[in-house]
Amino acid sequence: MDPETQTIEKLSFEDALRALETIVRRLESGDVPLEDSISLYEEGERLRQHCQKRLDAAQARIERIVQGPDGTAAGTQPFDAPDR
């Protein structure tokens, strides 16, 4: 794993998202030379993947409400658990 990827892996979701937003603004400005644009795009893709990985991990921890036969809440179970 290259040092830049290791650095991204240490970022919180919020910090990675802010960095990605900064890259998007720079690319949208049109003031970045082509080679720099390519490098920024590659970094942005790594940040996007990191954010997606963080979101997937958070979603896996979410509990969902399980409805009983009468439609009322009967408890919770992990988000990724099979239905009962």
Decide if 83 is inside a domain.
no
- Look up the CATH number of the domain holding residue 53: 1.10.287
Report residue 30: phi and psi, to 5°. Answer: 80, 5
pLDDT at 60: 67
pTM > 0.75: yes or no: no
Task: Give 1-34 pLDDT, tens digit per residue.
Answer: 667 777 999 999 999 999 999 999 999 999 999 9
Domain hosting residue 21, numbered range: 3-78
What is the CA 5 to chain-centroid distance, rounded? 15
Residue 42 or 73, more confident: 42
Decide if 25 is inside a domain.
yes
Decide if 47 is inside a domain.
yes
In whole angstroms, give the CA distance from residue 58 to residue 32: 34
Decide if 15 is inside a domain.
yes
Decide if 84 is inside a domain.
no
Would you list the DSSP string of 15-79? HHHHHHHHHHHHHHHT-S-HHHHHHHHHHHHHHHHHHHHHHHHHHHH-EEEEE-TTSSEEEEEET
Q: How many domains does the chain have?
A: 1
